[in-house]
A and B are shown apart, each in its own frame.
Chain A
Amino acid sequence: MGFKTLEELKDAVYMCTYCGTCKVAYSYGPPPLFAPICPQGNTFKFDAFLGSRSKSAMAKAILNKEVDWSDTMIKALFTCNVCGGCEYQCQTDFKPEILNTIEALRYEAVKNGKSLKEHERISQNVLQFKNPYGESPEKKEEWMVKKADGREVLYFVGCTAALREPHIPKATADVFDKLGIEFTVLGKDEVCCGSPLIRIGQWDVAEQVMGENIDKIKETGIKDVVATCAGCYKTLSKDYASFEFPGYDKLNFYHITQFLKDRLGPSASLGMKVTYHDPCHLGRHAEIYEEPREILNKLGIELIEMPRNRGNSFCCGAGGGVKGAFPDLAIQTSKDRVKEAESLGVEAIVTSCPFCVRNLQDAQPSIPVYDIMELVQRSL
């Protein structure tokens, strides 16, 4: 149990036939869809950077000791967004282990002293401050306008929302209040969920914070945990599940869109025309595609889909530790995504992840980027 090491993934890696289907997004349709899907491959072009094919090659090279770690190899490994766009295309038995293989490769690189200094800082920050941003834990409560000590649900706010996008937890708290949902938060005691650490191969620190979080959650005695951050949700509901934390199986984890879908009644129509960006952690990694769309529908919002939607969604560019270590690449990718949205003639881009909100905004779009909770708040 726990994270799978590269050695444990060897058989899966050898299921890759090197066919290259993971290089582009394609579906038969009709009409057919063709589009670039790999943000790093889109930029660097060499096959060593493109899709999961390149990651199976890297795994083989390392497992068989055929190639030494080089700067280029480290770049090929760490400019990957771990977005799963490639995984979605693959149909072989490598598919279920593709993201695990990328993360295991990163762990292997870290073990070999090849971690990036920006990533080490994230790890140190989490150890010292319990969040990757190096902010004091008290700051995690600054968004709160009043105490939240309900017993119904525990709102797991997440570091990015609490420290960088406070309008999201503010909107969420307001929505909970308006719907009469009694909630509480861990506040300054909330520890990084571990998502960034797992993605960048800093597993030792990740395991530590995961355990801490589960203990803190259990101490509240609340069973239903709701996250607005796609990364927190994916990590709490999927990554934690592979560890045998005592009492974990008694907890229920929800993304806010799952949680609210049936709790929202018909509302006053917002009368907007928007597009929706599927966050990788929520869509491909957790297969939550329809809930946010159903909520937008309830808000009377007209949804125009981008060509790359749902499983073929194009990453915003932030994930996998890329925003921390390669900020220009992260923006370049989000500019690509923003362009796709802008070409639809919509009023706004809506998503359901604070990290996506942030990175899409950093691309300076001509239209606003909203977290879905801001629109829910507006409708109530």
Chain B
Amino acid sequence: MINGYPLSGDVMSWDKKRVYRRLVDILGDEWVSDDEFVRYTYSYDMSFVDPKMPDIIALPETVEEIQAIMKMANEEKVPVIPFTGGTNIGGLCIPEKGGIILDLKRMNKIVEINEEMRYAVIEPGVSHAQLADALYEKGLRFGWPVGPPSASVLACAINHGIGHLTGRYGLNSQMITSMEVILPTGELVRLGSAGITGSWHSLYPVPRLDGLFIGTLGTTGIVTKLGIVVSGIPDYSDVLTVSAENVEDMTNYMIRWGRYEAADDLTAVSWWLAQIPIPYPYKPKPDDEPEWYSYSVITGFTEKELEAKREMWEMSLKKEQESGSSVKEYEYPEEAKKARTQLPSQIVGSTKNYAKSAGGGISWPGTFTPAPKWPEAYNRWKEIYIRRNLSPSVRITLYRGTHYGMLRAMTPFDKRDPEKIKNARDAIVEALRVALDVGGIPYKPPLEFQEEIYKRADTGYVELLKKVKDMLDPNNIMNPGKLLVR
């Protein structure tokens, strides 16, 4: 029981042989496997989440195939888990109740890039690397995460992912223009303008039913096409870097400078996250080095536009300094600068900066937290992490230059040792409680986080979520257990 809500039923029972045969009938035997090693490769990710084996892996290529699979899965009452890269850092594709993993990598078409209207339509298997390559040819860009270039753009966007343009445009989920989704019961639905006129330009002014499939961790449907806003690559850019002695000064600087909404990305990192790689286990920061470092990426289509932004930044910095802040200009090491601006990046994507020698594990308490509360949360996180011999490698990023943003601690750990996995998990969950205390909410949450969310969530919200899930997925076959309410 979580907050009075029972966890949903037992592990589901279904006829594995028959389901396998029916999948082969739909896809052909080339694209279905129940081999133990094949399943093993889909049973874990880099996070602290315990591995669990799926029963069957299937690789559909078309919308019709997925529709047929969902209809069959409903008849057989077998769980289905959508999977693209499995890099979500939250065990979200690890099956809680067994079932079929639908690996969507064969659906990798860029359906349209509309240069004039600046949107693109993509399938789930399109990676950041693939889209970056295709958009660049047309002088366009999207918000690239600091994650693996091979991971899915669509999976990132529909789970409130964060790219390098969040300072300017907000979350990648805020860039969605239209959606095609297959319901758990197999019906095909188009949402936004695509559902009315067939044009993929906007989610407005119709009811925002797309919300039923965003942030739901693959538990409410399978998104098969996504329209996203793409923007022009500006001709001029600069990276403005500062340091501060403490998180309070850094937060105040970011809030002041952020209100101009002038930076593509406005991020700060603690000393531990600025190290390459993150010290593991914890090592103290030398006394003579600042504790916080920030970079702001500014861009312009003319030199004047860039200059105007730089002027606003200088003004903000000056005002902060006049108020006695320790914030000051600071030259970033070249590799650190590259890793945060040249995205998508193999360096950060393959976790070199984070976990180079830690032992394979990475997790995070990743939250959206009110910016004025960052200092309180960070100071408490720091105590927790140091107590557990982990580096408080924290990142804060303002979204749309406004009032809230990312607060997360990238946490490497050693997967060879169960005690060390537990230590990291405990630290992260403890830190998460602190974030919730100050108003933060975790993103892409593994079950351990969701337990904490539902302990505090409004009853009406949880009841509605259950009703929506029951309506869309009456047999609870879509990634069951992952949204915890079902």
Please list the residues of chain A having a beta carbon within 8 angstroms of any beta carbon in chain B: 11, 14-24, 26-34, 45-48, 53-54, 57-58, 61, 66-68, 70, 72-73, 76, 89-93
Contacts and interface: CB of A to CB of B under 8 A. Distances in A.
A31 B40 contact: no
Contact of A72 (B33, B86, B357): B33
A45 B31 contact: yes
Interface string B31-45: 101011110111011
A61 to B, nearest CB: 5
Interface of B: 31, 33, 35-38, 40-42, 44-46, 57, 59, 85-87, 103, 105-106, 127, 129-130, 132-134, 136-137, 147-151, 342-347, 349-352, 355-357, 359-362, 414-416
Given A21-B148, A48-B40, 17 more contacts: A15-B360, A16-B360, A17-B46, A18-B45, A18-B86, A19-B46, A20-B85, A20-B151, A26-B346, A28-B344, A32-B132, A32-B136, A45-B31, A46-B33, A48-B41, A53-B41, A89-B346
13 contacts: A14-B414, A18-B86, A19-B350, A20-B86, A21-B148, A21-B350, A22-B350, A23-B150, A33-B133, A45-B106, A46-B103, A89-B350, A91-B351
Contacts of B85: 20, 23
Given A20-B150, A21-B149, A70-B37, A14 B359 contact: yes
A374 B343 CA distance: 42
A61 B37 CA distance: 8
A34 B132 contact: yes
B192 to A, nearest CB: 27
Contacts of A66: 40
A21 to B, nearest CB: 4
Contacts of A18: 44-46, 86, 360
A91 B347 contact: yes
Contacts of B415: 14
Contacts of A45: 31, 59, 103, 105-106
B133 to A, nearest CB: 4
Contacts of A67: 36-37, 40
A72 to B, nearest CB: 4
**Top 7 closest A-B pairs, CB basis?**
A21-B350, A34-B133, A91-B352, A72-B35, A26-B129, A73-B37, A91-B350
Given A24-B149, A26-B346, A19 B87 contact: yes
A9 B36 CA distance: 23
A114 B42 CA distance: 24
B87 A46 contact: no
A93 B350 contact: no
Contacts of B38: 46-48, 72, 76
Nearest to A46: B38
A61 B36 CA distance: 10
Given A18-B360, A19-B349, A48 B127 contact: no
Contacts of B46: 17-19
Contacts of B356: 15, 92-93
Given A47-B42, A92-B350, A70 B133 contact: no
Nearest to A47: B41
Nearest to A74: B37
Contacts of B149: 21, 24, 26, 34
Interface centre among A45, A46, A47 (most CB of B within 10 A): A46
A31 B137 contact: yes
Contacts of B416: 11, 14
A34 B351 contact: no
Contacts of A48: 33, 35, 37-38, 40-41
Contacts of B359: 14-15
Contacts of B57: 46-47
B136 A58 contact: no
Contacts of A23: 85, 150
Contacts of A70: 35-37
